[in-house]
Amino acid sequence: MDLLIYYVSGTREDVLSFLSDKLRERNFVKDSYKRSLLEREKKHPTGLVLSDLVNVAIPHTDPEFANADVFVIGIPQNEVKFGRIDDPSVEIAVDLIFLFVIKDPNEYLTFLSKLTENFANKEFLGYIKERNMEKINAFLKEHVL
Amino acid sequence: MGQDKTNSKRYLIYVACGSAAASANLVKARLTELLQKEKINAEFKTMRVSEVVSSVNAKRPDLVIITAGGFSTQGLPNDLPVLSGLPLMTMVGVNDFIKKVKNALKITEG
């Protein structure tokens, strides 16, 4: 699976719009993806509070808006807040944004399973906190992608 | 004391998320594995959060697990246990979560 990394800034909507546009330009997603992603995040926020003071967001939408599989990491350049997945009224500033586009629903599940399994890995959490992209890249290639 | 272990019972568990695609299936897969280890026999049904009330009305489960926020228990029976499946996504507090599930299913620790 392709891995793309972008620096992002602005509000949560700015960030999701920016990443959607980048994915559209490269034809990873359909035109309707952006709207669906933004609506979905509004309705069902995806901010996750992990161990070791690490917060991430995993914005996603239905596989039907995907053209090809891709994993995108957004590195916030300012504080970007997401609603908590379990309590949308609480917003958390995230260390990184993991946005994934996967076409096949079964693959999607396998991927989500592999990614979240590693949320229990202290080494991985450390790399996220440090925003050590080289290590994150290597870790994801070995364990997730 | 003297309470039968209800291991032979097959429990019905509903798992709901925003789209019934990703997180509900993930929670179902993880929980299936964890419950098998505990020798607890369960049948799962995944759905969208918007479908929970009508599904419960159609057939009452033993437990409802929600993996999306903003879920209201309005319209559900007061005595129906509803848990957040988040620990199986963040991997924070998984053991506590299993205890809560067993508690909700009224399974006494062996």
- Sequential DSSP letters for chain A: -EEEEEEE-SSHHHHHHHHHHHHHHTTSB-TTHHHHHHHHHHHS--EEE-STT-EEE-----GGGBSS-EEEEEEESS--EEEBSS-TTSEEE-SEEEEEE-SSHHHHHHHHHHHHHGGG-HHHHHHHHHT-HHHHHHHHHHHT-
What architecture is domain A2-143?
A: 3-Layer(aba) Sandwich (3.40)
Average pLDDT value for chain A: 94
Residue B40 belongs to a domain = yes
Local structure of residue B22 (DSSP, 8 states): S
Nearest residue on chain A to B91, alpha-carbon basis: A120
Residue B1 belongs to a domain = no
Domains of chain B: total: 1
pLDDT tens-digit map of A46-75: 999 998 899 999 999 988 999 999 999 999
Q: Tell me if A50 and B69 make a contact (CB, 8 A cut-off).
A: no
**By C-alpha distance, which of A83, A82, A114 is closest to A96?**
A82
For testing contact with chain B, the best of A85, A90, A104, A111 (most B CBs within 10 A):
A85
Q: Assign A110 a pLDDT band (cuts: 50, 70, 90).
A: confident
Domain with B19 in it: 10-104
Nearest 5°: the CA angle B96, B101, B106 is 120
How far apart, in whole angstroms, are the C-alpha atoms of residue A115 and residue A139? 11
Q: Tell me if B86 and A85 make a contact (CB, 8 A cut-off).
A: yes
Domain CATH code at residue B68 = 3.40.50.2300
Pairing assessment for the beta strands A2-8 and A70-76 based on DSSP bridges: parallel
How far apart, in whole angstroms, are the C-alpha atoms of residue A39 and residue A55? 21
Is A24 in CB contact (< 8 Å) with chain B?
Answer: no
Q: Closest CB to A113: pick one of B26, B90, B92.
A: B26
Q: Is residue B93 within 8 Å of B83, Cβ to Cβ?
A: no
In angstroms, the separation between the Cα of residue B23 and the nearest Cα of chain A is: 8
Amino acid (1-letter code) at residue B38: E
How far apart, in whole angstroms, are the C-alpha atoms of residue A76 and residue B34? 36
Mark residue B92 as left, alpha or beta (left: phi above 0; alpha: psi -120 to 50; beta: remaining).
beta
How close are the terminal C-alpha atoms of chain B, in Å? 11
Q: Tell me if B18 and A43 make a contact (CB, 8 A cut-off).
A: yes
* pLDDT tens-digit profile, chain B (110 residues): 445 555 578 999 999 987 656 788 889 999 999 999 999 999 999 998 889 999 999 999 999 999 876 677 889 999 999 999 999 988 889 999 999 999 999 887 65
Residue B90 belongs to a domain = yes
Residue B4 belongs to a domain = no
Complex-level ipTM: 0.73
Residue B88 belongs to a domain = yes
